[in-house]
Each structure stands twice: as structure tokens, then as C-alpha cells.
Structure 1
């Protein structure tokens, strides 16, 4: 568990930095563009490569590539043979993967008008909006090829427990996007065309892909690894990787597939709905990215090693510990976001072109989204239980069932409850996917929810209830400060976060919700190895 906590701490800490920069980016974007034509067009243009990135590069490709690369690296009779086998596998994959990315990107850019029409044909109702969205989407789409290569290089390092470079790379994206907003705002000037800002942002997306690729290439070389471009050849291992990627594309990406579904429905609603949904999702993504992605990234190579060495007890213990860490950090985050959504939205986003009415709608969207936050994170822990065993087919069926439910709910609620109903449908489908994954893992004997783990989570819920009661009482008392000057906003949010966090952890400590060994490792004190969950 020590190595898991250390890895999660490294990934989570760097991911938190990236998410905070992303949060600053969206605050500026809301104030500079508001929720109008240019903002909606950019959100769609950014959604396309970003969702494909999460779905293919960081989703399907990573979960298929890392176990195979780890097996080649650690499965040989000696270290030298393992290094040679892993290097050959990586070179073969790179040589094929690069050409696939180039062809796919070219086809998508040519077909972009049709793709935008499928996702956002209602943009045609606003003069110029559809054509502008197509233009921006073509400018941003090269980012997919660049970031996919970044994901492969990150996988090489992750398999060797070098998590920092891959977790740090997204910071470059957010820094360049912030620079794009600043440059666009300066060029636009007061009362200028918002499309200038959107164009600067779109260019910044692709430039960020170049910067991230250059950084990861340097990190790989610094780690002593060398990649060579070969003549593309579909070796048996490359073919096997492809067969694993195809189902994993869907199985690892229910949340990302749902993003396309949500985009389709959101663009049929009043102008600005897509922007409000994406900005609300940024609040939801803070704990999801810091906790969920960190745990999922750290657990996969570790779980693969335990399974390949036929150590089922360690595999069970690893997933149980990851589950406990996830709920410890996610349950209070979800409750706090749900109760304090109006405070966070008003303090961070309302201002400039982003109105109070926009903020009120966005707060309701946040509440609906965070209802599924624990499920979003736990799926990141359960999916590796299949991927580490090279079973990428089972998550396909659970994801398909969840997606069908998501679409069915959307068809009913979107016209009745608008964008808030759409966010709620996403939360329900994610929860269903989580439940199905666990039931299958349990029935196969790959992971079981133990009495000890259940007791720990029950105590965590008591602590969450105590925190929620305090925040519910404090929210109306501090309402005048949420939209005040900067010191008032900082003071109000600081009081909410500080008081809520203090009550949660104090109650968790008193009730025994905190594992003393886990606390010791999180605080970097010496601790005895945590016993296996029973």
C-alpha cells in the first residue's frame, strides 16, 4: 500500500496543479466570453479532440498498452532480455500507431462538417455559428495525434513507475490556453468580436500538443529509453494490442462516450447550454481528475504485476486499499460540491460576460453531475481489474448497457428539465456502470467488497453527514460574501472549506473512518504494512 499511496500522491499532486490551472483557464474563459456563440463553438471544437484523447489515447490505448509492455519488461528470464523485448514492442507499436493517427486525423478533418452536423446540427439555427464551429474544430483536431503519442510515451514511463512526467504534461496545455485567452482578449479589445478570442484558443490547443510531445520525448530520453521508427509491421503483439484496444475503446470510455451524447443533447438546448455544461463539469473534474485518474493510473501497472505473478491476495489488497482511498477523498468532495455549488460558481465564475442567471443554472448542473462523482472515480479502480487480466470485452457490455440507459433517460428528461436533467442522466448511467463492473468482478472472484472495507466506508459516511450538516448551516449565513470583492470571496470559500474539512476529518478520526496506517503513509510517517482487507 505504501507504493500505491506514494504513486497516487505523485500523480494526484501534479494532476491537482494541472486541474487548478485548468480551473483558472475556465474562470477567465467564462468572464471573457460568457456563454454565447463563440464560447459554444470553442467548447465543441475542444470537446472533439479532448474526448477522443480520453477515449483512445489515455483510455483504451493506455489500458491495453501498459499491461502488455509491463509483461514484456518483467516477464523475461533476465532484465536485459526484458528490456530488449519491451523496446522492440514499443518500437513496433510506435511505427504502426503513428501512421494510424495521421490517417485518422486527416480523415476527421476532411469530414469535420459532417461530424459537427451530427453533434450540433442545431448550431445552424444561429447565423455563422455552425461554420465557425467547423473551422475551430479543424484547428484543434491535430491535438489528438500529438497527445496520443504523449499517452504512449507516458505509458512507457508509467510501466516503470515514473508517473511524474505524464501527470505534469497537462499543465503545459492549460498554461498555453491561458496565454491564448490573454492574447485573444488583448487583440479583441473592449467591445470587439469574441470570435478572435476563440480562434486564439483553438490555435493554442494544437500548440500545446507540440509542447507536451516535446516534453515527454525529452523525459523518455532522460529515463534512458530510446524509441526507433521502423517500417510499419503488424507483428503478432501489435495485432494483439489492436484486438485489445477495440473493445477497450468503449469499455474504458463510458464517461467519454457520454460526453458525446451530452454534447448532442446540449446543442439542441438554448444557446450557452453547452458552455454551462462544460464549465460545470470542470468543478466535477477537480476531484475526479485528482483522485480517480491518479488511482487508475497507479493501480494498473501494480495490479498487472501481481496478477502476472499469480498473487491474488496482493491484487485483492491493492484494489481494496485503492477503494478505501477513493471513498475517503471522493465522498466528502461530492457532498461539499453539491451543497456549496452556488457559492463556488458565484465566487469563481460570475463576472464580466458571465451573468448571475448563468451562474444559477450552472450551480444546478454541478449538483446533478456530482451525484455520480463517487461512481466516476470507483470505475477507475474497477476497470483495471479487467484490463490487468487483458479482459477488455467485459467492460464493453457494462458500458453499452449504461450508455443505452443514459440515452433513454435523456430522451425523457432533456425536454422536461433541460440541461440539468441531462447532467443527472450522466450521473445515473455512471452509477449503473460502476455497479455492473463490481458485480462481475465479485462473481469471478477477482475482487470482493469485504466487511472491513464496508465498515470503513460506513464510518466515512458518518463523517460526511456531519460535514454536510455544518455546510448546510453555513451556506445562507455567508451568502452576501460569495459575490463580493476578492477578499470577501476568498474568505467565504476559505471558511466553508476549512470548517467542512476540519469537521469531516475530526469525525472520521473519532469514528475510526481513517486507517491509522493510511494516515501515517499520507503524512509520510513510518507505519506497519496495512493488513489485507477481510
Structure 2
């Protein structure tokens, strides 16, 4: 141990840097919390679909929420997260505790000031932002004005949730994964409460949802503060753009702003183009995207969350062999879940949508339209998940230039696919274009890591691939054979729908994992120390 490292000794029993932990265990913790959040997210969407369907109010809210949410993923969970964690891991591993605190103070203050200014400007120019991101709304002045009013309420959420993401990045670096993973639950609870409790008090009922977003931002930030304080890492925000750590983070963020959020930019482009299509197109894309986000968030995002701090630590310790093993482990885990999940979404598109959303204002036509885009998005589920674990392979090594180059190519490909597919397939063409560009993005990321020798496939891939393929075939055949025609589901009540869907889901999982067990795949094969 060097003299510098010995200075980073615990204070009050806390370690200065993150301790190693099992990646499988950490991933399961994040997955469990994320599953709870996603289930409540689906409950939230059921409430919204029941109260507002796919009408103008729902379209207005989805756009007003998507704009700050897009920027949140871009700045907070996207570029900032990917740039901040490697630098913080290096400080925690190689610097003193006091230097770590100085970094946190400077980053919290600088981030807070920048995002406060962005939020203030966005609130002032809300109508122009709506016109920029949803130009089709300009044909309906009432819809445009409603969306702008909502945006003025939802945009401060960017400032609040970005500081929440900052706190979550610190907790993740110190292997406190459960708290940040649980935090999104509070967003869903806030929106459900606002939809049910505030709607009767609003002149326009859909405005209750915008208030729910603002409330959620305050609650989520307040929830994480005590856990930072318990670690002794509660920052005293003070802007300092000259701090070496802040300058390095900004340098890494510049290209990462685009690279890490290519998929989000593609989804936003879908919203822009969908606003020009038939009324309801924005909502159809939203509901189908939400179903794809369930396995993506529970497994893909969870793996990306735990793999980045672990890879960053191994890079700081100059351990390339362990780095390569972690990437290989992550790819196997992604395929284990991504392949059957994407297939299930394709086979059960209408039953899923009927069971979750076909209530109140949601019509049969809405189900048919949303199912088309759901199947298209499902084709991109595995590539989306691969991006979540391949991109950290670059960011952990503090290489943000390569992903941005790949992101530019993927962005251009998405635009071409959009123009080719929107006319024959309408909103489903937009979803398919996003899926195809994700395939392109993931392929280039993987090829780049392989060419640099960073990604080194371990032994046993041939047998593993055949085993997963066989499992998917058996599971898919069973679902196709047993699932009733989707029109039948329309005549059922909520409990019959839920029971049948649960039975199909559990049955498919038992068949799939049973096949893997017969082929010799065991849980211990996925245990790896972080």
C-alpha cells in the first residue's frame, strides 16, 4: 500500500473507497428493486390509460414528461453518470478522503448551477420547446398550450432528478445499490397518487400528472440525502469549474452527451415524427415502449449499473484480465434474459397490452396499433441491453470518443430507417427503425472492444449459444401453442386476464430455465467478484 493510499483510511468506521462485492448479488439487488419500480410503473400506466386513454391530454403529458426525462437521461443518468463514476472511482481508490469530499462538493455545486439555469430558460421558452419536439401539435393550439403549461411544471424535475442521480452515483460507487434502485418507485407512487388524488381538482384533469412529476422530484432527492450523510459523503455544494476532477468530468461528458444516449435520442425522434402521424401515435409508441422498458430496466440497466463501477475499479487497478472476464460475464447474462424476454414480448404483444391497458378510455383499435410498435421495439430489446453493458467497457477506461463516433453512425442509420419505414408502417416503422439502429450500435460497440483486445470471449460460448437457442425454441413453441387468441382476452375480466398472463409467464419461465438446467447451466456459473 502506498503512502497516498494509506491516507484514505476509514473515518468513523467507513471505508474511503468502495469495497469489492459479488456482481451477481449486486445485480440481483438492483434487479429486484427495479422490478418493483417497473411493476409500479406499469400500474401507473394502467391508471393513466384508464383515465386518459390515448387522447390529447395523454399525448400532451407524454411529450411534456419526455422532454425533461430525455434530458435527465442525457445529462444525469447518461453522460454525467458515465463520466462521473470512473473519475470518482479513481479518486476513491487513489486519493485521500478529503480529496474525495472536495470533488463531491465541486461537482454537486457545478452540476446544480448549470441545471438550474437550463431549467429556468426551458420554462421561459416552453411553447417553443414543445413546437421543436412535437411540431405536429402546432396544428392544435389548445394541445400545444396545454403541453407548454405542463412543461413548465415538469422541467424543474430535471434539476431535482439530476442531483438525485448524482447522489445515486456516489452510493453505487460505494456498493450501496439498493437505495438508488429503489428511488424510481417514489416517482411511480407520486404519479399514481397525483392521478387519483389531484385530477378532480384540476381544470384540465391531465395537469395532475404534471404536478405529480414535480412532487416526485422533491421526494426522490429527499429520500437519498440521509444515506449520503450516513456514509459521511454529504456534499457541501460549491461551484468550482476549475477543480481538476470537474474539468476531467466535463471533458469526458462532452462526447458522452451524445454517445450514451443515442437510444434516447432515437426514441425522441420517434416522438417528433409520431406527432405528425394520426392522433394517438405518440401514446401507442409510449405504451409499447413501456413494456419493452420493463425487461430492459430490470436486467439491462441493472447490469449496466453494477458493471460500470466494477469495471472502473479494475481499470484503475490495471487489471485487464479481470476487466475482460467481467465483460464476458455481462454479455452472457444479457443473452440469458434478453433472448427469451424479446421473444415473449413478440408472442404475447396483444395479451400484454389488453391485460394492462384495455380499460376505460383505451379502445380495441389502440391495442392493435400499440401491438404493432411493441413487436417492432421487441426486436431491439437484446441490442438495447447489449448497449447497456458494452458502452461501460469504453467509459470505464475513460474513452468517450469512440462511443460518440459509433453513436453518430447509429443516429444517421436511425434517420435513414425512419424515412424508409415511416410511410409503409407509420408509427410501427418508427419503432422498427429504432430497433435496427440499436442493432447497428451494439454491433459496432462490440466489434470495437474486440478489436482493441478489451473484449475477450472466454471458453464455452458455442455450447452456451446452442443451449440458449434451444431454450428459446421450446419456450416460444409452448407460448404459441397455449396462449389464447387475443380477441378472447377482450371478453375476460381483469382477474382472468391477470391469472392467464401470470400462468403463461411462469410456465414459459419454468420451461426455459428447466431446459437450461437440463443442459447443465447452473447459478454458480454466473458468480463473479466485482
Q: Same fold by TM-score, threshold 0.5 exceeded?
A: yes
Distance in structure 2 (CA, Å) of the matches to 1:63 and 1:92: 17
Structure 1 residues without counterparts, runs of 5 or longer: 189-194, 522-528
| Aligned CA distance change for structure 1 residues 478 and 228 (closer, same or farther; 3 Å) | closer
Tell me the equivalent position of 1:286.
294
Instruction: Compute the displacement of 1:450 (Å).
Output: 4.0
Instruction: Compute the displacement of 1:357 (Å).
Output: 0.7
Instruction: Compute the displacement of 1:31 (Å).
Output: 1.1
Selected match of 2:524 from 494, 517, 527 = 517
Is residue 2:310 matched to residue 1:313? no
Tell me the equivalent position of 1:148.
162
Deviation track 1:209-242 (CA, whole Å, cap 9, x = no partner) reads: 0111111112211222231133534222211111
Moved more, 39-48 or 414-423: 414-423
SS in 2 for 1:243: helix
Tell me the equivalent position of 1:37.
56
Instruction: Compute the displacement of 1:459 (Å).
Output: 1.1
Deviation track 1:155-200 (CA, whole Å, cap 9, x = no partner) reads: 1111111111111111111000001110244447xxxxxx733111
| Aligned CA distance change for structure 1 residues 235 and 477 (closer, same or farther; 3 Å) | closer
Is residue 2:82 matched to residue 1:63? yes
Tell me the equivalent position of 1:179.
193
Tell me the equivalent position of 1:405.
413
Is residue 2:43 matched to residue 1:24? yes
CA contact (8 A) 1:347 1:483 kept: no
Deviation track 1:297-339 (CA, whole Å, cap 9, x = no partner) reads: 1001111111111111111111111111111111111101110
Is residue 2:251 matched to residue 1:243? yes
CA contact (8 A) 2:46 2:357 kept: yes
Tell me the equivalent position of 2:101.
87
Tell me the equivalent position of 2:14.
none
Distance in structure 2 (CA, Å) of the matches to 1:425 and 1:96: 37
RMSD: 1.8
CA contact (8 A) 1:346 1:483 kept: no
Selected match of 1:53 from 58, 72, 82 = 72
SS in 2 for 1:445: coil
Selected match of 1:164 from 161, 170, 178 = 178
Distance in structure 2 (CA, Å) of the matches to 1:456 and 1:72: 38
CA contact (8 A) 1:184 1:200 kept: yes
| Aligned CA distance change for structure 1 residues 281 and 332 (closer, same or farther; 3 Å) | same
Tell me the equivalent position of 2:5.
none
Deviation track 1:412-440 (CA, whole Å, cap 9, x = no partner) reads: 21122100111000000001000000000
Deviation track 1:426-477 (CA, whole Å, cap 9, x = no partner) reads: 0000010000000000000001334523431331111011100111111236
Structure 2 residues without counterparts, runs of 5 or longer: 1-19
**TM-score normalised by L of structure 1:** 0.93
Selected match of 1:97 from 108, 111, 121 = 111
Selected match of 1:211 from 207, 210, 219 = 219
CA contact (8 A) 2:138 2:144 kept: yes
Runs of 4+ deviating beyond 4 Å: none
Tell me the equivalent position of 1:192.
none
Moved more, 144-153 or 492-501: 492-501
Distance in structure 1 (CA, Å) of the matches to 2:500 and 2:487: 8
**TM-score normalised by L of structure 2:** 0.93
| Aligned CA distance change for structure 1 residues 357 and 310 (closer, same or farther; 3 Å) | same
Deviation track 1:321-372 (CA, whole Å, cap 9, x = no partner) reads: 1111111111111101110011111111112100011011111111100100
SS in 2 for 1:128: helix
CA contact (8 A) 2:199 2:207 kept: no
SS in 2 for 1:464: helix
CA contact (8 A) 2:325 2:456 kept: no
Distance in structure 2 (CA, Å) of the matches to 1:347 and 1:399: 36
| Aligned CA distance change for structure 1 residues 401 and 487 (closer, same or farther; 3 Å) | same
